Structure 1
Amino acid sequence: MKRRKELSEEDLDLIRNKVTEDEALEKLFKDCCLRNLRPAAIEYYMNEFYATKKMLKKDLVDIKQEDIEEFIVRSKTQISITTINTRLRALRAFYNYLKKNKLISTNPMKNIKLLRDRQK
């Protein structure tokens, strides 16, 4: 593939139409309602997004893979592996939705795997 100095039209659209965190969450929750998810599932997403954002001190739409990796490393000393995996699942659903709907150019969760929870 030949490299070009200009961006593709799809890349330019993503830059021009950068979605805010509030818009992204609103679209996700609207999609959850359209798919008839339970109110408890929507509340779960809200709680996990809030907790992750609080720990990372960044807007969810600005998070990169390195931020998520840092979040995992820092979280291991503070919360259980099960809780970390719960947050990662919520983030994966969020970023998969944004990528599927072309609201972000790259999915920061693409190469992130859940942590192994060693049985005692």
Structure 2
Amino acid sequence: MVQFSTARLDASFAALSDATRRGVLEQLGSADASITELAEKFHMTLTGMKKHIGVLEQAGLVTTEKVGRVRTCRLGSRGLEEEAAWIEARRQIWSARFDALDDVIEALKRKEKVDGG
């Protein structure tokens, strides 16, 4: 079984758990933006947006670069491959369980027909 980095998954899923941070990632997928631009877009204070960006940076999902007084944000260099693989492994487990449940239900239906019920 593939080993996953617990700390990395924790940081990524914590970062992705917030709608604003997911929105920031979507926005940065289109174009780099300053923290000020992001704060305006999401109707929040500069301090609030800086906190969201900090969480995304900690998770490695966003990088920032300061030039003069402007801090520009862009998507981080790493993708979400490990997180997607973790989700896919869980999906396969659930899919197998539901397939087994379907088999049990079909067997019960066939038995019911044979028994005349």
Normalized against structure 2, the TM-score is what?
Answer: 0.32
More helix by share: 2
Q: Which has the higher contact order (CA 8 A, sep 6+)?
A: 1
More strand per residue: 1 or 2? 2
Structure of greater Rg: 2
